[in-house]
């Protein structure tokens, strides 16, 4: 449970999602990184280059200052780290389960929010856009790959996104190990076999 809680801190070290645009004249691709607290890219100039592309079809400029989620998400994450550490310290399997479920709900909320932003960027186009494609949307895929005009857009979780997912799995594993240990403990009340001890310790660490 400790690893699950601390794993969330990697959200501040690595991007959690990435969207890559691929076209022949961009041999290296253009890769945008979404962090818990900022929008970045593979290079310092990636966002400028994406904005230059987007303005032809009238998409809004991507400006991290205009996305409030980037301001308050970090506090939620820190809250969840603290909650997770308390759960580990008190070693209550109920808390492990609650932490895991809250994380799943937060992830669903986060991904839905991400979808709303994508929808907004992809559909809410300027009336004065130089290039207008009737009926076209420029919304990147939520997850997966999609052809948008001359670009293939690929959207997938990135390093810290995967680690956060692993944290949720770890929390549920901790809950499961703990349950297993408690059940055995009830059956053989006197003994504390090595394996059972490991499961108990493992659940705390996980």
Strand order in the sheet with 26-34: 39-41, 26-34, 17-23, 151-157, 144-148
Minimum CB distance to other proteins smaller for 45 or for 198: 45
Q: Which of 13, 38, 48, 105 binds other proteins (CB under 8 A)?
A: 48
Per CB under 8 A, which region of 53-61, 83-91, 136-144, 171-179 contacts other proteins?
53-61
Q: Tell me the Ramachandran region of residue 143: left when phi exceeds 0, alpha when psi lies from -120 to 50, beta otherwise.
A: beta
Q: Which of 44, 189, 190, 194 binds other proteins (CB under 8 A)?
A: 44
Is 55 among the residues that bind other proteins (CB under 8 A)? yes
Q: Which of 13, 52, 142, 188 binds other proteins (CB under 8 A)?
A: 52
Is 64 among the residues that bind other proteins (CB under 8 A)? no
Q: Which of 89, 109, 116, 131 binds other proteins (CB under 8 A)?
A: 131
How many residues at the interface with other proteins, by CB under 8 A?
Answer: 13
Minimum CB distance to other proteins smaller for 49 or for 179: 49
Binding site for other proteins (CB under 8 A): 28, 43-45, 48-49, 52, 55-56, 61, 128, 130-131
């Amino acid at each position: 449970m400790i690893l699950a809680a601390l794993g969330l801190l990697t959200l501040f070290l690595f991007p959690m999602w990435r969207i890559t645009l691929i076209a022949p004249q961009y041999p290296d691709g253009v890769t945008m990184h979404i962090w818990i607290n900022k929008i970045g890219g593979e290079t310092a100039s990636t966002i400028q280059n994406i904005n230059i592309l987007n303005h032809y079809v009238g998409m809004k400029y991507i400006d991290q200052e205009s996305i409030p989620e980037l301001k308050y998400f970090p506090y939620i994450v820190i809250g969840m780290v603290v909650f997770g550490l308390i759960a580990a310290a008190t070693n209550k399997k109920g808390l492990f389960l609650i932490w895991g479920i809250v994380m799943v709900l937060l992830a669903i909320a986060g991904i839905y929010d991400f979808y709303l932003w994508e929808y907004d960027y992809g559909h809410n186009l300027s009336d004065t856009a130089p290039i207008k494609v009737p009926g076209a949307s420029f919304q990147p895929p939520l997850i997966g790959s999609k052809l948008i005009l001359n670009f293939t857009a690929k959207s997938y979780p990135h390093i810290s996104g995967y680690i956060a997912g692993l944290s949720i799995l770890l929390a549920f594993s901790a809950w499961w190990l703990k349950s297993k240990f408690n059940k055995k403990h009830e059956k053989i009340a006197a003994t504390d076999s090595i394996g059972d001890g490991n499961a108990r310790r493992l659940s705390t660490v996980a």
